[in-house]
Structure 1
Amino acid sequence: MSPSPEILTPERILEATEDVLRRYGPTKATVVDVARALGVSHGSVYRHFRTKAALREAVTARWLGRTEELLGELSEEPAKTAEEKLRQWLAVLFEAKRHKAGDDPELFATYGVLIQEASGVVDEHLLVLIGQLAAIIGEGVRSGQFAARDPLAAARAVFDATARFHDPVYAPQWERPEIDDEFRAVCELLLRGLRA
Structure 2
Amino acid sequence: MAEALTPERILEATEDVLRRYGPGKATVVDVARALGVSHGSVYRHFRTKAALRAAVTQRWLDRTSEQLKSVVSGTGPAGQQLDRWLTTLFEAKRHKAGDDPELFATYTVLASEASGVVERHIEDSVGQLAQIIEAGRDEGEFAADAIGSAYEAARAVFHATARFHDPVYAAEWSRPGVEDDFLSVRSLVLRGLRR
Normalised-by-shorter TM-score class:
over 0.9
- Is residue 96 from structure 1 mapped to residue 92 from structure 2 by the alignment? yes
The correspondence of residues 19-30 of structure 1 with structure 2, limited to 5 A, is 19-30=16-27
* 2:177 is the alignment partner of 1:178: yes
What amino acid does structure 1 have at the position aligned with 2:164? F
Q: Which residue of 2 aligns with 1:137?
A: 133
**Which has the larger displacement, 100-109 or 140-149?**
140-149
- Offset at residue 177 of structure 1 (A): 1.4
The residue number in structure 2 matching 1:55 is: 52
1:176 positional shift: 1.1
How many residues align? The count is: 192
Q: Distance in 2 between matches of 1:69 and 1:101?
A: 18
Q: Distance in 2 between matches of 1:51 and 1:33?
A: 14
Give the % identical residues.
68
- Report the TM-score when normalising by structure 1: 0.96
Deviation beyond 3 Å, 4+ runs, structure 1? none
Query: Residue type of the partner of 2:122?
Result: L
Distance (Å, rounded) in 2 between the aligned partners of 1:176 and 1:59: 29
Q: Show structure 1 runs of 5+ residues with no match.
A: none
Shifted more, 143-152 versus 163-172: the winner is: 143-152
Residues 151-173 of structure 1, C-alpha deviations (whole Å, 9 max, x = no match): 11110000000000000010111
Displacement of 1:8 in angstroms is: 0.3
Quote the residue 1:160 is aligned against.
Answer: 159
What RMSD over aligned residues (CA atoms) do the two structures have, in Å?
Answer: 0.9
Q: What is the rounded CA distance, in whole Å, between the counterparts of 1:110 and 1:128 in structure 2?
A: 22
Q: Which letter does structure 1 place at the counterpart of 2:134?
A: G
Q: d(CA) in 2 for partners of 1:152 and 1:53?
A: 31
Aligned position for 1:118: 114
Report the TM-score, using the length of structure 2 for normalisation: 0.97
Q: Which residue of 2 aligns with 1:33?
A: 30
For structure 2, which runs of at least 5 residues remain unmatched after alignment? Answer: none
Match runs of 1:56-95 below 5 Å: 56-78=53-75, 80-95=76-91
Q: Distance in 1 between matches of 2:104 and 2:42?
A: 24
What residue in structure 2 maps to residue 189 of structure 1?
188
